[in-house]
Chain A
Amino acid sequence: MRPDLQHLFRMEKLPHIWCPGCGHGIITRAIAEAINESGIDLDKTVIVSGIGCSSRAPGYMNFDTLHTLHGRALAFATGVKLANPELNVFVITGDGDATAIGGNHFIHAARRNIDLTVILFNNNIYGMTGGQYSPLTPTGKMAATSPYGNPENNFDVAALAIAAGASFVARGTAFHDKLLVNSIKEGIKNKGFSLIEALSMCPTSYGRRNKMGSAADMIKHLKDNAVNVVTAQKLPPEKLEGKFLIGTLHYKPYREFTEEYDKLIARVQKEGK
């Protein structure tokens, strides 16, 4: 652990529970680094999570931390932020947590454009329960509950967030470390709903079933198939086939819910309507 980040962790709770080769540790450290570089008040920072592998991250982090129910992190976080808008509220969630059982809260938190910084650890699988397919498991891929290949379509969660009203949406990976840190910092700066989709790798439950090789092969896969959104603008479509974009995908600040509510209070208290 880097000495300059240790104060952001509960060092006595480490090592973490994640499997060897899991990308979640890298992403968790990237969040800490982004918080550190942002200079936000650590006493006024709350990290909320749901249930799943990624949702264990807050337990290692030295803040007020709230490990909630499966799918409900965003609803708890909405309560924290609306009740005390002074707080910097982060949500750590996974692909199953945010887009299956928590899908309704996800679209509505984005619709409200409530000032939350959401880091979605996307490992394409339900890791904690042993590798069942999630709404972000690509069509055709193998999982414990799709032994013949996933027959369902998958979400593009970044597109979903943009359509639902998020004001900042970015994608990073466990390989593109600097870019991920920067994306989270941008998300913190944005006064509104910020989604950072962080692609992770799950060699144990996803890579193994899909013959993706070792953890190192999987992180190389992230490296080889990511195209920066700026670079992509100059590339012909055929060069982007089978690739995914990283970087800032959407940034359009607009009215934020808790600020609007405070304005409403001021108006009602002054004018009575």
Chain B
Amino acid sequence: MSSIITLNDVYRGYKMGQERIMAVNGISLEIEEGEICCLQGPSGSGKSTLLHIMAGLDRPTKGSIKIGNTRIDTLSENQLAVFRQRYIGFVFQSYYLIPTLTAIENVTIPLTFCGVPKKKRLQRAKELLEAVGLKDRMKHKPSELSGGQQQRVSIARAFCNNPKIIFADEPTGNLDTANKYEMMNLMTSLAKENKQTLVVVTHDVEISGFASRVIKIRDGKIEKIENGRDQNDGKMA
């Protein structure tokens, strides 16, 4: 297996008043294609910052990030946007759906930005919403959906342009336990189906059960890398 994400000695510093804080403090890491990887750590450990840097949402103070063969830390903002369109999908803790658009419209947005024709967009969105079990909720606005349903929509949105990598930032943070497992099962099975790489940031130890590799982060550094409990089918009873 070849590595799809390569971090080489990455630093990210912030200024907090007079103090300078290193949120990411020299991390080198390789994530392999098709891997389901979990970045785990307490809040403030720098795991979210690391995710943002890997996804090209934030830039490192020092160090390089390669996705595939592309150095994304040197890309312009527009190039990054196109890069994200093609290769990356996102799932967020608070779903980040557009409140005025229906579920199906929300799912089609990334395809809209890619310039995919409307018919194709809607068809693809329908497929995905069916896959996440929201067949009869397509015309509903986010406010008419439960938290779990909203997160399903956001998962459908992340997968809809068939990205190589899906980044999930605390995807289960706002969900109850039943929904949490369901959501993780959904994401991992979708990712495995299409041989996509899934990077999940969480502080929840239970989530790590879904991962093939768990990277524990503390104070901006890698504390420990563990192989996940479930390497074979990514499912938990």
Indicate whether A and B interact.
no
